[in-house]
Amino acid sequence: MTNTVTSAQRREHDVVVVGARVAGAATAMLLARAGHDVLLVDRANLPRDTLSTHSLVRGGVVQLSRWGLLDEVLASGAPPIRSVWFHEHGAGAADPVRRTVRDRAGVDLMLAPRRQVLDEILANAAVRAGATLLTGTTVTGVMRDDDGRVAGVTARDSHGTPLHVRARLVVGADGVRSRTARYVGAETLRSDLPARACFYAYVGGVPWDGFELHVADGAYAGVFPTHGGEANVWIFPTDEMVEELRTAGSYRYDVWLKALHGSMPSLAHRVIDGVSDEVVRGVTGLPNHVRQAHGPGWALVGDAGYHRDAISGHGMTDAFRDAELLADATDQVLRGLVGEERALAAYQAGRDAAIEEVYALTVAMSAMPARPRFLELSRQLAGALEREADALAGRPVRTGALALC
């Protein structure tokens, strides 16, 4: 999947994208399809798994369809999700409700592909479009012109060989702990309480029927069927269980089951009946924040520019949307149609407008209010996500400068 590079010292490109996962690979693909010279770099040797619950709600599937990649993702074995179950747990809980994923915005399914599969599909699409991909390459800083404008990056490969890349635009797509954001001095525009802890395991041998969402007092869990007949079973545990899970060491799977059983016993029993490698993955204390998305010679996309609690299951769809917004703006700059400051400011304004409602709902949900309020917020979130999918489906499929499919 990696293009061979003969010179390991100096390179020059229109754009260098730091980070080759969903946000970076999508941005690179769109810009390469538009005819621009793009270098895509990642410090990992891809394909490689990463922390993720894998959820692609309707808006993310819309983007894959518009970009001509949906059939490839389905052909990889990612199961099409055409139903969502809602379960309440605790006193006064309502009966489970099953809802069918309706045909809307041009798609009738959702997905939860394993990340090493989806990331590779996107990176390969970028390479097919003409982007150059360097893996095992760590960006160590940015280069600046005499006036302070970012003009490229410094990096080193897995052998320690230095690399200097000049580019008209440096795009940071290197995740929530973005080094690029630190190198360029991106300002944090909004910061809220840290995200809730989330822990998950893969469970097979159970006939999972679509997505499942489980709500209890103080906890939230779910099931996202993925590749290989397995499902990503996740929980945002009660506050009392977080520290026990964080420090459980080799007993984490047992403690994870305990957390599930304490809040959602019926789900825990089904997990026990299944097959798991008993490895629990998780994260605590990630930020809810919005960063400045651009500056002279640079831009941020995906989690590098905006991160909110995974409780809304919307990170990859956010990345796809913002990749297109940024690619559109960058294409205009590179073609000399719009000045850089104006185009990138419009990108940031578009991103901020797009995230406003979902960000507010996510922060409110992450506070884990009483179950009736949590369910109301969930309904509001579902409506917001459907409206976003409609908006994405309504975007023009360009046949000129930026060909999106």
Token pair belonging to 315: 């990170």
CA atoms within 13 A on the CB side of 185: 7
The pLDDT score that the predictor gives to residue 396 is 83
Average pLDDT over residues 206-230: 96
Task: Give the rounded percent of residues in the chain with a pLDDT score beyond 90.
Answer: 90
pLDDT band of 1, cuts 50, 70, 90: very low
- Taking the C-alpha atoms of residue 66 and residue 234, their distance in angstroms, rounded to an integer, is 29
The pLDDT score that the predictor gives to residue 403 is 44
For 133-150, give one letter per residue: b (16+ CB within 10 A) or e.
bbbebbbeebbeeeeeeb
DSSP summary character for residue 304: G
Q: How far is CA 124 from CA 28, 117, 120, 137, in A?
A: 11, 11, 6, 17
pLDDT band of 5, cuts 50, 70, 90: very low
DSSP summary character for residue 402: S
Tens-digit pLDDT profile for residues 339-386: 999 999 999 999 999 999 999 999 999 999 999 999 999 999 999 999
The pLDDT score that the predictor gives to residue 193 is 87
Task: Give the rounded percent of residues in the chain with a pLDDT score beyond 70.
Answer: 96
The pLDDT score that the predictor gives to residue 294 is 98
- Taking the C-alpha atoms of residue 132 and residue 3, their distance in angstroms, rounded to an integer, is 6
- Taking the C-alpha atoms of residue 206 and residue 235, their distance in angstroms, rounded to an integer, is 18
The pLDDT score that the predictor gives to residue 10 is 85
The pLDDT score that the predictor gives to residue 402 is 53
Tens-digit pLDDT profile for residues 293-345: 999 999 999 999 999 999 998 899 999 999 999 999 999 999 999 999 999 99
CATH of domain 10-53+114-191+288-367: 3.50.50.60
pLDDT band of 269, cuts 50, 70, 90: very high
Average pLDDT over residues 9-23: 95
The pLDDT score that the predictor gives to residue 397 is 72
Cα 340 from chain centroid (whole Å): 26
Mean pLDDT over all residues of the chain? Answer: 94
Average pLDDT over residues 252-258: 97
Kind and range of the H or E run holding 55: none
The pLDDT score that the predictor gives to residue 398 is 56
3-state SS class at 157: coil
Residue 259 above 80 pLDDT?
A: yes
- Taking the C-alpha atoms of residue 197 and residue 76, their distance in angstroms, rounded to an integer, is 30
Tens-digit pLDDT profile for residues 63-105: 999 999 999 999 999 999 999 999 999 999 999 999 999 999 9
pLDDT band of 404, cuts 50, 70, 90: very low
Contact, 172 vs 180, CB < 8 A? yes
Tens-digit pLDDT profile for residues 155-165: 999 889 999 99
Tens-digit pLDDT profile for residues 174-205: 999 999 999 999 999 999 988 899 999 999 99
CA atoms within 13 A on the CB side of 245: 27
For 357-367, give one letter per residue: b (16+ CB within 10 A) or e.
bbbbbbbbbbe
Residue 114 above 90 pLDDT?
A: yes
Contact, 201 vs 237, CB < 8 A? no
Task: Determine phi and psi for 85, rounding to 5 degrees.
Answer: -100, 140
| Domain extent listing, the chain | 10-53+114-191+288-367
Bond from prior residue into 47 cis (ω within 30 degrees of 0): yes
Average pLDDT over residues 238-242: 94
